[in-house]
A and B are shown apart, each in its own frame.
Chain A
């Protein structure tokens, strides 16, 4: 391993006819990492995964596995294994035959096959299911067989293409935990493709957020949630308010005038390439905003304050959401935890002040 990366994509481009599915992607996936590729459908995440597996060949650029350039190597000559979205279990083979398939193709000794299949079945809690057919298994069990079938080959990297997508919510949550434990146990690099942001946040060491063939942000779940790099990431991961305004002063401290209000607000972080006078949006997470009766908000330095009127109150059990209208054009969602029972701290129609720490606001290009 020359560069210490399990998988590396260098300037990888994939075109299908006129459509560019993956556009000059650079990725470096560390050894032993749980790495996720997250994005809406059609963002290029599955195509990237398929290029690592060898099902698709890059139009240009190079895929490295364990430091080795893969070129046009077919899937069966690559040291990776895949867990498919709909499992792709061979319906004409038993669970045992499915799991043994890869080792048989590699001409592994019969006794060793038997031993390794047994161990792996135990690992995924399916001991004794050897002779079942895939059709006789539940969705969750099929999922485990697919995992076992890939892991038993001890690949350098395990590729998972939305493996939990077909399971119901409860099972999906349970499998998330199980997958994470399994990865710790086997110590293999996992590359996980999903469109489910919660899943990616819960499981990954690092996440690549993708859209339209490009990687928009690469970072830990916390970095991606707390410090989204651009408007797409802020919008796609979790919930964000976008308040339109105009860049007043580049600073520091930088200031923005929110459309429809007189008082400028201070901001700390700006997206690259913003100049004074540009139209921008200020992005704040709903739970980072505090809400006070009109005129009662305390003032601190680095605190942004705006006033508005409660338009809608939605009680959600753990918390309550307030839609606060600032002016004709913009409204902000505020989320308050229901620490005191009874909910309803503010009523619809009430005039309020809202405030947030300027460190929690991100400014993106309009």
Chain B
């Protein structure tokens, strides 16, 4: 630690000042992370509270989790959430990846307008997008038909409108992430493939696609997360009787706080953690540390 021996008063003071500023910065960092994590941790803790209170600890129980998984409404909304997220992620990943390639690989007239069209859904707040879609579906009369599916014996009736809405805001996010990856990619790799007798399609399949893959996976994971998280658009475009997990939780919160909501929150938190681990694994595969690629 003390490789440098403070000799003069001035150097002693400077040394002291630096240590104080370093210690206070560390202290500040700890406080910052405490602020971020304490509320979440408390929610998790009280999901195990043996009382209706979320403020006074009354012993450990898993009662609220039992309560959660035996509530068929919650299970249905969980499956609704997953179904909407999976379908809209698949569609928006395909469309968004194609769009990213079109935007990154070519220069053409009207590109600026296309840029605006692609990124506008990112800027517009979800409440505005939600009522836009509500009015659109109402006026056009399309989209409120439901898609009947049966998953593990549970019947789901998912309105197309919800999926359409989720795809509409996810395309942009997928395109941004894939584009970032593409822009980092060395174009000469494709030239090398062509030089080695790979035609346009083979070049795409053997070189471009594998190189893009981390970006595509990252984009898909982001789309999946955003879809699972969405409340406003689902709430306004689903019509009556359809709930995803956030919509149901919102309804429950409006009626009052119970540790059962804490249990659902803990479940949703666990789902986020799983998604983060997936994204970490896919990034490791991509070979680069792009921890803040989503910007």
Chain A interface (Cβ < 8 Å from any Cβ of B): 53-55, 74-76, 80-82, 84-86, 88-92, 101-102, 105-106, 135, 149-150, 153
**Can you list, as one digit per residue, whether each of B187-220 has a CB less than 8 Å from chain A (1) or not (0)?**
0110111111111101000110011000000000
Interface residues on B, range: 10 to 19
Residues of A within 8 A of B241 (CB): none
Q: Is the CB of B189 within 8 A of A88?
A: yes
**Can you list, as one digit per residue, whether each of B168-203 has a CB less than 8 Å from chain A (1) or not (0)?**
000000000000000000101101111111111010
Q: Is the CB of B210 within 8 A of A88?
A: no
Residues of B within 8 A of A53 (CB): 191, 195
Q: Is the CB of B191 within 8 A of A84?
A: yes
Q: Is the CB of B199 within 8 A of A76?
A: yes
Q: Is the CB of A74 within 8 A of B199?
A: yes
Q: Is the CB of B188 within 8 A of A75?
A: no
Which of A88, A101, A153 contacts B206 (CB under 8 A)? A101
Contact (A105, B197) CB under 8 Å given A84-B188, A88-B189, A92-B210? yes
CA distance A119 to B189 in the complex (A): 24
CA distance A80 to B211 in the complex (A): 25
Is B256 in contact with chain A by the CB < 8 A criterion? no
Is B39 in contact with chain A by the CB < 8 A criterion? no
Closest B-chain residue to A53, C-beta based?
B195
Contact (A135, B198) CB under 8 Å given A84-B191, A92-B210? no
Q: Is the CB of B192 within 8 A of A90?
A: yes
CA distance A331 to B224 in the complex (A): 73
Chain B interface (Cβ < 8 Å from any Cβ of A): 186, 188-189, 191-200, 202, 206-207, 210-211, 287
Known A-B contacts: A74-B199, A102-B195. Give 8 more (CB < 8 A). Answer: A53-B191, A54-B194, A82-B195, A84-B188, A84-B191, A84-B192, A105-B199, A149-B196
Classify the interface of chain B: helix, strand, loop or mixed: helix
Residues of A within 8 A of B202 (CB): 105
Residues of A within 8 A of B193 (CB): 90, 101
Residues of B within 8 A of A149 (CB): 196
Q: Is the CB of B191 within 8 A of A106?
A: no
Q: Is the CB of A88 within 8 A of B198?
A: no
CA distance A86 to B192 in the complex (A): 11
Residues of B within 8 A of A90 (CB): 189, 192-193, 207
Q: Is the CB of A86 within 8 A of B186?
A: yes
CA distance A150 to B194 in the complex (A): 12
Closest B-chain residue to A99, C-beta based?
B196
Residues of A within 8 A of B196 (CB): 76, 81, 101-102, 105, 149-150, 153
Closest B-chain residue to A50, C-beta based?
B191
Q: Is the CB of A153 within 8 A of B191?
A: no
Closest B-chain residue to A152, C-beta based?
B196
Closest B-chain residue to A92, C-beta based?
B210
Residues of B within 8 A of A74 (CB): 194, 199-200
Contact (A76, B207) CB under 8 Å given A88-B189, A105-B202? no
Closest A-chain residue to B188, C-beta based?
A88
Closest B-chain residue to A55, C-beta based?
B191
CA distance A244 to B210 in the complex (A): 61
Q: Is the CB of A76 within 8 A of B197?
A: yes
Which of A80, A88, A91, A135 contacts B191 (CB under 8 A)? A88
Q: List 19 A-B contacts (CB under 8 A).
A: A54-B194, A55-B191, A76-B197, A76-B198, A81-B195, A82-B192, A84-B188, A84-B191, A85-B188, A88-B192, A90-B193, A91-B287, A101-B193, A102-B195, A102-B196, A102-B197, A149-B196, A150-B196, A153-B197
CA distance A106 to B197 in the complex (A): 7
Q: Is the CB of B192 within 8 A of A135?
A: no
Q: Is the CB of B210 within 8 A of A75?
A: no
Q: Is the CB of B194 within 8 A of A76?
A: yes
Residues of A within 8 A of B186 (CB): 86, 88
CA distance A101 to B206 in the complex (A): 9
CA distance A150 to B210 in the complex (A): 22
Closest B-chain residue to A108, C-beta based?
B197
Residues of A within 8 A of B287 (CB): 91, 135
CA distance A101 to B195 in the complex (A): 10
CA distance A101 to B194 in the complex (A): 10
Q: Is the CB of B191 within 8 A of A75?
A: yes
Residues of B within 8 A of A84 (CB): 188, 191-192
Residues of A within 8 A of B206 (CB): 101
5 closest Cβ contacts across the A-B interface? A102-B196, A105-B197, A88-B192, A75-B194, A88-B188
